[in-house]
């Protein structure tokens, strides 16, 4: 079985027409063990209520790192990739 890897390409916060945040859209690519692209511009959509609790984070770097790691783990889970 080949070992797949992912690369996060972008994270976007989407809003409804009233300006309230509604979801995150995480775009990513999937590669095989040789570096060949298996999926390009794949997207994972997470509603805000499904997102990680960040109430304990006190600065932007910590917040950003925690959120990025959360999205990375969600993409791994969606793609069935074990680290």
Q: Identify whether the C-beta of residue 26 lies closer than 8 Å to the C-beta of residue 75.
A: yes
Strand order in the sheet with 37-47: 5-15, 21-31, 37-47
pLDDT (mean) for 8-31: 93
In sequence order, the β-bridge partners of residue 5 are 31
pLDDT at 47: 87
* Least confident window among 14-23, 26-35, 37-46, 56-65: 56-65
pTM value > 0.85: no
pLDDT in tens, 38-72: 999 899 998 887 556 666 766 777 778 888 999 99
């Amino acid at each position: 079985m080949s070992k797949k890897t992912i690369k996060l390409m972008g994270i976007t916060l989407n809003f409804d027409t009233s300006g309230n945040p509604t979801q995150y859209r995480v775009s990513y690519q999937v590669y095989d063990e040789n570096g060949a692209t298996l999926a390009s511009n794949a997207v994972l959509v997470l509603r805000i209520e499904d997102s990680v609790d960040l109430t304990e984070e006190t600065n932007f770097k910590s917040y950003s790192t925690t959120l990025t790691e959360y999205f990375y783990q969600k993409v791994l889970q969606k793609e069935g990739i074990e680290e």
